[in-house]
């Protein structure tokens, strides 16, 4: 799997413990797996539980409550969580009073059965039921197993101010919508996160202002499908047609939300993820181009370069439409950073389809990408109707080919930055050297440079001198 910087999906960023310790309180240990939304949700959970007297700890052995916020996107992601759970047997033996909860997509997908399969688990809670955690924890403390996997039409946690945990104090996530209605045939997300609903723009702006006042410099607006954002007073996106004429007329879509946020916090950099090609409109592109503080970077998953496979995946676009969108982006936002998600070995994928994927990548030359082998997920349309018929060796070989090609393109794109002076937001110490900071340019590429007299949270001008396929190396200019 190819990855870039610390923008990571699924297996790449597993089990980061969140830290916030206070003496004399009940102790919560929480680990997050999977997408950025899960990391953001864990901050909501920590906020809900802090009101119940829980402080977080980085040491599971001293915890009263252990929560794993889980991912179901591929089989491997679930296996990772199960392996991790088995590790807690020893801890529970030592401290039988410790309660163990599974949150997130695995809880939603497997439901009560998880209690039978993993005997040490006390609590199972789906992504829309975190407000119920205090009650569920009490049930568990009384010796009963507790489950809530109800999906909601309304829940956006809009009024919960997340406890910022384990972060760098510079960049933060803000959830703007939940769920996904797209029903890509391979994807478990619509089943685990329910139907699309959006959060009140005012509560999003309020959260951005709180972050700005706390010294944050960059926010990422999060949703499974941000271009589909639609606020019309609350409720499911699919019920919009039934809304009143007044509600319809005053509805806020993603481009407007971006504009409102960009204007409300002009000193903040703004990013967003994830965009879906079929839902991305041209006014979003014009908005990105029009505001200096909206980063020139779009993560635009495509999944395959073959129209035949895209159709079987129920993606709402074909190869040509995707290319048209790429051309529009290049025209409206010159120098826009672009990344993708790609799946190899979807049922029925032939060598010719695979060549279509390689040639699409060759056309776009993405800055980076996240690439995966197809993993059949129980209950999805693809699992019910298609045979997982591409042999594992073939999936692996195709995956290696697209990863190699992406590496080449990443190097090519990075080389284009050499000699330029770019604005970088300092995020922290470089992983490889204590003498260097790392940060990102607007395109989301990691830039590493000697420390000098600046600190995390500063915007600096860096002259790019050299690069690898993953990183730009430079020097601050004054």
Enumerate the known binding-site residues for [4Fe-4S] cluster.
Answer: 35, 71, 105, 180, 184, 187
* Burial (Cβ within 10 Å: 0-12, 13-18, ≥19) of residue 154: exposed
What's the closest the beta carbon of residue 34 comes to ligand F3S, in angstroms?
12
Of ligand F3S, ligand SAH, none, which one does residue 377 interact with (CB within 5 to 8 Å by kind)? ligand SAH
Q: Which helix (H) or strand (E) holds 123?
A: strand 123-125
Residue nearer to ligand F3S on the CB measure, 140 or 177: 177
Rule CB under 6 A: which of 211-270 touch ligand F3S?
224-225
What's the closest the beta carbon of residue 379 comes to ligand SAH, in angstroms?
11
Of ligand F3S, ligand SAH, none, which one does residue 375 interact with (CB within 5 to 8 Å by kind)? ligand SAH
Angle at 377 between CA 154 and CA 72, to 5 degrees: 55
Kindly state whether residue 35 participates in binding ligand SAH, applying the rule CB under 6 A: yes
Of ligand F3S, ligand SAH, none, which one does residue 425 interact with (CB within 5 to 8 Å by kind)? none
Give start and end residues of each alpha helix (H) in 51-74: none
Site string for ligand SAH, 243-282 (x = CB under 6 A): -------------------------------x--------
Could you please report the per-residue DSSP string of 292-317?
TTB-SEEE---B-S-HHHHHHTT-S-
Of ligand SAH, ligand F3S, none, which one does residue 374 interact with (CB within 5 to 8 Å by kind)? ligand SAH
CB 127 within 8 A of CB 178: yes
- Reported residue count of the chain is 478
**Rounded distance, CA 383 to CA 385, Å?**
6
Helix (H, G, I), strand (E, B) or coil at 124: strand
Kindly state whether residue 406 participates in binding ligand SAH, applying the rule CB under 6 A: no
Instruction: Fill in the DSSP letter of residue 18.
Output: P
What's the closest the beta carbon of residue 327 comes to ligand F3S, in angstroms?
22
Between the alpha carbon of residue 362 and those of residues 284, 322, 350, 405, the distances in Å are 25, 14, 19, 8
Per the listing, tokens 């529009």 go with 328
Kindly state whether residue 372 participates in binding ligand SAH, applying the rule CB under 6 A: yes
Residue nearer to ligand SAH on the CB measure, 184 or 476: 184
Binding residues: 35, 71, 105, 180, 184, 187
Kindly state whether residue 192 participates in binding ligand F3S, applying the rule CB under 6 A: no
Kindly state whether residue 185 participates in binding ligand F3S, applying the rule CB under 6 A: no
**Rounded distance, CA 232 to CA 241, Å?**
11
Q: Comparing C-alpha atoms, which of 133, 14, 30 is closest to residue 79?
A: 14
Of ligand F3S, ligand SAH, none, which one does residue 103 interact with (CB within 5 to 8 Å by kind)? none
3-state helix, strand, coil in the chain (%, to 5): 40, 25, 40
Kindly state whether residue 301 participates in binding ligand SAH, applying the rule CB under 6 A: yes
Residue nearer to ligand SAH on the CB measure, 74 or 259: 74
Kindly state whether residue 390 participates in binding ligand SAH, applying the rule CB under 6 A: no
Candidates 125, 187, 211, 258; binder of ligand SAH (CB under 6 A) is 187
Rule CB under 6 A: which of 219-248 touch ligand SAH?
224-225
Which positions ≥6 away from 286 have C-beta within 8 Å? 255, 332
Candidates 175, 276, 287, 471; binder of ligand F3S (CB under 6 A) is 276
**Rounded distance, CA 68 to CA 101, Å?**
6
Retrieve residue 58's tokens.
Answer: 């980085």
Give the binding range for ligand SAH (CB under 6 A) out of 45-53, 181-189, 323-331, 405-413.
181-189
Helix (H, G, I), strand (E, B) or coil at 167: coil
Give the binding range for ligand F3S (CB under 6 A) out of 123-131, 185-193, 209-217, 382-390.
185-193
Helix (H, G, I), strand (E, B) or coil at 410: helix
Q: Please count the residues of this chain forming the interface with ligand SAH, following the rule CB under 6 A.
A: 18
Q: Comparing C-alpha atoms, which of 168, 155, 149, 150 is closest to residue 44?
A: 155
CB 389 within 8 A of CB 350: no
What's the closest the beta carbon of residue 177 comes to ligand SAH, in angstroms?
10
Site string for ligand SAH, 305-344 (x = CB under 6 A): ------------------------------------x-x-
Residue nearer to ligand SAH on the CB measure, 20 or 403: 403
Give the interface with ligand F3S as residue ranges (CB under 6 A).
Answer: 180, 182-184, 187, 189-190, 224-225, 276
């Amino acid at each position: 799997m190819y990855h870039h910087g610390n923008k990571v999906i699924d297996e790449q960023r597993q089990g980061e413990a969140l830290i916030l310790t206070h003496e004399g309180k009940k102790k919560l240990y929480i680990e997050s797996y999977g997408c950025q939304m899960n990391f953001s949700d864990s901050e909501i959970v920590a906020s809900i539980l802090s009101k119940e007297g829980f402080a977080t700890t980085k040491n599971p052995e001293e915890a009263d409550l252990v929560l794993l916020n889980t991912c179901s996107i591929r089989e491997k992601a679930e296996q990772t969580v199960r392996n991790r759970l088995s590790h807690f047997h020893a801890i529970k033996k030592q401290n039988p009073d410790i309660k163990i909860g599974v949150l997130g997509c695995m809880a939603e997908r497997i439901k009560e059965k998880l209690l039978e399969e993993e005997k040490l688990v006390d609590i199972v809670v789906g992504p829309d039921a975190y407000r119920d955690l205090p009650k569920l924890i009490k049930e568990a403390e009384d010796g009963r197993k507790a489950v809530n996997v109800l999906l909601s039409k309304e829940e956006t946690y809009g009024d919960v101010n997340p406890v910022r945990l384990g972060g760098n104090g510079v960049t933060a996530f803000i959830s703007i919508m939940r769920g996904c209605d797209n029903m890509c045939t391979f994807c478990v997300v619509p089943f685990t996160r329910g139907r699309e609903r959006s959060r009140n723009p005012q509560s999003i702006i309020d959260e951005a202002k709180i972050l700005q006042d706390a010294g944050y410099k960059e926010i990422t607006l999060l949703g499974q499908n941000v271009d589909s954002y639609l606020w019309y007073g609350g409720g499911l996106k699919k019920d919009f047609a039934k809304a009143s004429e007044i509600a319809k007329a005053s509805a806020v879509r993603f481009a407007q939300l971006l504009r409102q946020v960009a204007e409300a916090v002009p000193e903040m950099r703004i990013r967003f993820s994830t965009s879906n090609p079929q839902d991305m409109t041209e006014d979003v592109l014009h908005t990105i181009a029009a505001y200096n503080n909206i980063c020139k970077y779009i993560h635009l998953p495509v999944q395959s370069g073959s129209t035949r496979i895209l159709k079987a995946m129920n993606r709402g676009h074909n190869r040509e439409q995707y290319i048209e969108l790429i051309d529009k982006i290049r025209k409206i936002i010159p120098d826009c950073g672009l990344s993708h998600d790609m799946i190899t070995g979807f049922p029925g994928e032939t060598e010719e389809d695979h060549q279509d994927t390689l040639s699409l990548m060759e056309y776009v030359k993405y800055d980076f990408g996240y690439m995966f082998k197809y993993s059949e997920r129980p209950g999805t349309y693809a699992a019910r109707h298609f045979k997982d018929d591409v042999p594992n060796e073939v999936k692996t070989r195709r995956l290696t080919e697209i990863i190699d090609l992406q590496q080449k393109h990443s190097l090519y794109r990075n080389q284009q930055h050499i000699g330029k002076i770019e604005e970088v937001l300092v995020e922290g110490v470089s992983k490889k050297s204590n003498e260097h900071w790392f940060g990102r340019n607007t395109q989301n590429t990691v830039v590493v440079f000697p420390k000098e007299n600046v600190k995390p949270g500063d915007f600096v001008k860096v002259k790019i001198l050299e690069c690898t396929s993953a990183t730009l190396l430079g020097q601050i200019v004054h």
